[in-house]
A = this chain, B = another copy of it.
């Protein structure tokens, strides 16, 4: 296929996937929900049209087999979204992987597969990368029954409703069967745009801690309860929101956010009796990340004590920063150079399936620019020509990795590489 045909097919597929959404602004395909399954079915149909064979594991990770055999090169990303999210986050990596796999599968010694992971977004259950964790065997015991969505349903409950049985998922994603994993993703930031480069090669993925806070106040009539006698859970939460912001500001290259906050009973005439919120702390430096989490916990305890609004804090997820593998990264940078596409090496503030996969197989991550840096929002943008450029680089990197593997009795140990 020529470049124009690739762009045209990418555009048509992006449009078709964007239509698989709950009503409302942007794209909403909740993790482990029926719309996520519908998106997986759609890409499976497209892969079959290109001659690929399709397998799905018990966690709903869909594997599109373009070139049979082991070891194999794996490409991929995810198809779920945050509520009212964009049409590119995750989707771009699956579609770009499919284009590159379709182009090179016939030429390579190694097998070539594309994976669409399930449930990468943490919005629904407060923990990201559930599908890739199950595929790599990294999922903590009991998690699938413990984590619940806003409706109180566990991951197992929700997944079973679409015919999945995540607790029965046998880990399959690991070296040496998987020679390397390559993921394309939108940057979701402004570095590439500011530096006017077409592509970014990620060296480190920020660690992320996610803490659930429950504050208990005392719900009383707002008109008859004097200010002095109140235990207002929202006023306590407001102090914590500002403390978290301060911790993020003091972390220099880190960030700290409260993106989700729910008030109970949330009536204009009732002093708030409870608040649930989720804190997100990220850093590319593990020590600074731990220090920020400790500072957030200390601030919550201080507010709870002073206001008489007891707080419970639960860690929903805690992932250290992940250095990606030098071997597949070098294949990406060399392929950029081959194609005369300017790139830069940069860290990722967002978590990605590549960070989970990096623990069991060599993994690399390629960014395409996100105009305005806006993501997890309906007006998330991405230029089709940049995705097409990423497809060219992916195809080049696959050929280089295949060459490397053919030239070596054993695959190179990425830990021994530069």
Taking beta carbons and an 8 Å cutoff, which residues of A are in contact with B? Answer: 82-85, 121-123, 126, 128, 187-190, 206, 208, 210, 218-229, 232, 234-235, 237-239, 241-242, 245, 248-249, 251, 255-273, 278, 280, 282, 348-351, 373-377
Asked whether B270 lies within 8 Å of A82 as measured between CB atoms, the reply is yes
Cβ-closest chain B residue relative to A123 = B267
19 residue pairs from A and B, CB less than 8 Å apart: A82-B267, A85-B267, A123-B269, A187-B224, A208-B223, A210-B268, A220-B374, A221-B350, A221-B375, A222-B376, A223-B255, A223-B351, A224-B348, A226-B255, A228-B249, A234-B258, A237-B238, A259-B267, A261-B272
Query: A349 to nearest B CB, angstroms?
Result: 4
Q: Which residues of chain B come closer than 8 Å to A351, judged between CB atoms?
A: 223
Q: Which residues of chain B come closer than 8 Å to A350, judged between CB atoms?
A: 221, 223-224, 269
Q: Which residues of chain B come closer than 8 Å to A267, judged between CB atoms?
A: 82-83, 85, 123, 259-260, 376
How far, in whole Å, are A280 and B221 apart by their CA atoms in the complex?
Answer: 11
* Given A234-B258, A238-B241, A255-B225: A270 in contact with B376 (beta carbons within 8 A): yes
* Given A188-B221, A220-B375, A238-B241: A268 in contact with B349 (beta carbons within 8 A): no
Asked whether A83 lies within 8 Å of B242 as measured between CB atoms, the reply is no
Query: A315 to nearest B CB, angstroms?
Result: 13
Query: A303 to nearest B CB, angstroms?
Result: 11
Q: Which residues of chain B come closer than 8 Å to A375, judged between CB atoms?
A: 220-221, 224
* Given A242-B238, A245-B232: A266 in contact with B261 (beta carbons within 8 A): yes
Q: Which 9 A-B pairs have the closest CB atoms?
A: A189-B224, A238-B241, A238-B238, A224-B349, A268-B278, A223-B350, A222-B257, A223-B349, A270-B376
Query: A9 to nearest B CB, angstroms?
Result: 27
Asked whether B265 lies within 8 Å of A82 as measured between CB atoms, the reply is yes
Asked whether B271 lies within 8 Å of A266 as measured between CB atoms, the reply is no
